Amino acid sequence: MKKIILAAATALVATTAVASADTVTRRQAQQADRIEQGRQTGSITWTEGLKLRAEQKRIARTEDAYRDKGYLTKSERRELRSMQNEASASIAEKKYNSRERAWFLPRVGK
């Protein structure tokens, strides 16, 4: 009986850790797509794109540092969520600030 309870508890913890990891990764991918979509339409300029991608890399490095021990604590997930919220606000701000790439300039970078 104890083995069954231990196995169930282990599965629950593993599932929770994977779910939180998936959420963080999925949100990073969504934000990267928003940045790229803004770059393609011209609503995000080249320099704004550089800054936004640097912010995404900073979040990814922080996440990697937290995951070195194999899991994320509640406070680490909270901090990553806060960083992602700030990044999302930055993307929206840059996307809708009415600065656009001049039509005659080439789209540079990814």
The structure's pTM equals 0.70
Q: Is the pLDDT of residue 65 over 90?
A: yes
pLDDT computed for residue 3 by the predictor: 64
In this structure, the chain runs to a length of 110
User: Which helix (H) or strand (E) covers residue 106, if one does?
Assistant: none
DSSP-derived 3-state class of residue 5: helix
Q: Between the CA atoms of 21, 23, 24 and 26, what dihedral angle is there, to the nearest 10 degrees? A: 110
pLDDT digits (tens, 9 = 90+) for 77-108: 999 999 999 999 999 998 888 776 666 665 55
pLDDT computed for residue 45 by the predictor: 85
Q: Answer positive or negative: Cα dihedral of 74, 79, 83, 86.
A: positive
CA atoms within 13 A on the CB side of 32: 13
pLDDT digits (tens, 9 = 90+) for 22-52: 788 899 999 999 999 998 888 888 888 999 9
